[in-house]
A and B are shown apart, each in its own frame.
Chain A
Amino acid sequence: MKKTILFIGVMLLALLSFAQTGVVKVITLDTLDNTNPKTSQIITAGGSYNSIAIVAKCTQLGGTSDGSLLLKASVDGTSYQTVTSSTGIANFFSNDTLTITSGAIWNIVVKGAPWKYYELVGMGTANDTTLVTIKYIIK
């Protein structure tokens, strides 16, 4: 009986440890409606993974969408630095910074997920509102 409980416990732990991989998740970024930078929810990747892939899609809600998006990463969740293209570490499709337009789509692949925390920072303008939808998958 004890062995059965132990086995179930081990299986549950194994399931929990893999729960984050291979699942598409959504994080939010407040609607961009002025020149104040908006920061997305944090993506946490504490374990050892092969990759993080992020996609951001811009939807124009009012005015003419413009502004920019960029990726920041951190070791401790406090001090963030902008991530730029680096062969074998981070690739952006098609640029390090996304210039926001209506319908613009930005893809990011971070190989090996070397940081623990990731966030997208968006900057809009005063005369438009833009919704940014962000999804990611960790593998």
Chain B
Amino acid sequence: MKKLILLSFLLCAISLIGYSQSPGVVKSFALKTLTNTTAATEDFTLTGSYKSLTIQVLCTNLTGTSAGIVTIDGSVDGVNYLALTDTDCLFKGFTNDTLTIANGAIGQWVMVGTPLKHYRIKYAPSGSHTTRATAKLIIK
């Protein structure tokens, strides 16, 4: 009986862990404050196979004049990263693969098939400012 209960709990736990990367669940990253020219990154890993990955970044000016760029990098091994650029049937940034940081700027990037394991949202701010970056993603 004890084994049965333990097994049930384990199955539930495994199910919950699996659900954390289930299709259709919006994942929000912790709010990030970009300051002046200090670069920042947000890394995440997708081990499963999915139809698509969509990343969204919203920039909100806090002080000064927001400036800089946001790009998406990808990697097979989590060590060697390459910048992802618009490629037919694989990756597309809306409206461009590089988001220019400005107050209210919204960038969205869609990757078809999630062939890579490691992904990185790369912030390269410039000028004198503080800007809040709100990043979210959905996998399907």
Which A positions have Cβ atoms within 8 angstroms of B?
A: 46-49, 73-76, 79-84, 86-89, 111-116
Partner of B106 from the list A81, A83, A84 (CB cut-off 8 Å) is: A81
Interface string of B86-109 (1 = CB under 8 A from A): 101110101100000000001110
CA–CA, A89 to B134, complex, Å? 24
Q: Which residues of A contact B54 (CB under 8 A)?
A: 75, 114-115
Chain A interface secondary structure, helix, strand, loop or mixed?
Answer: loop
Query: Could you tell me if A116 and B23 are in contact, using CB atoms closer than 8 angstroms?
Result: no
Partner of B112 from the list A76, A80, A82, A89 (CB cut-off 8 Å) is: A89
A79-B58, A81-B95, A113-B140 are known contacts. Are A46 and B53 too (CB-CB below 8 A)? no
Having A48-B140, A88-B88, A116-B26, one finds 12 other A-B pairs with CB under 8 Å, namely: A47-B23, A48-B51, A49-B140, A74-B56, A81-B106, A81-B108, A84-B94, A86-B88, A88-B89, A89-B89, A112-B52, A114-B52
Query: Could you tell me if B89 and A87 are in contact, using CB atoms closer than 8 angstroms?
Result: yes
Query: Could you tell me if A112 and B95 are in contact, using CB atoms closer than 8 angstroms?
Result: no
CA–CA, A83 to B106, complex, Å? 12
Chain B interface secondary structure, helix, strand, loop or mixed?
Answer: strand
Q: Closest B residue to A50 by CB, please name it.
A: B51
CB distance from B90 to the nearest CB of A (A): 7
Q: Which residues of B contact A46 (CB under 8 A)?
A: 24
Partner of B136 from the list A73, A76, A88 (CB cut-off 8 Å) is: A76
Which size bracket describes the interface of B in this complex? 20 to 34
B116 within 8 A of A: no
CA–CA, A75 to B53, complex, Å? 10
Which of B53, B86, B92 has the most CB atoms of chain A within a 10 A radius of its CB?
B92
Q: Closest B residue to A44 by CB, please name it.
A: B24
Query: Could you tell me if B26 and A81 are in contact, using CB atoms closer than 8 angstroms?
Result: no
CA–CA, A50 to B62, complex, Å? 40
Partner of A112 from the list B88, B107, B112, B137 (CB cut-off 8 Å) is: B112
CA–CA, A88 to B110, complex, Å? 10
Query: Could you tell me if A88 and B90 are in contact, using CB atoms closer than 8 angstroms?
Result: yes
- For window 22-37 of B, CB contacts with A under 8 Å fall at 23-24, 26, 28
Query: Could you tell me if B56 and A76 are in contact, using CB atoms closer than 8 angstroms?
Result: yes
Q: Which residues of B contact A88 (CB under 8 A)?
A: 88-90, 112
Which of B51, B55, B107, B137 has the most CB atoms of chain A within a 10 A radius of its CB?
B51
CA–CA, A47 to B52, complex, Å? 11
Query: Could you tell me if B95 and A75 are in contact, using CB atoms closer than 8 angstroms?
Result: no
Q: Give the top 10 A-B pairs by smallest Cβ distance, nearest first.
A: A88-B89, A114-B52, A48-B23, A46-B24, A87-B88, A75-B56, A86-B92, A48-B140, A114-B54, A81-B108
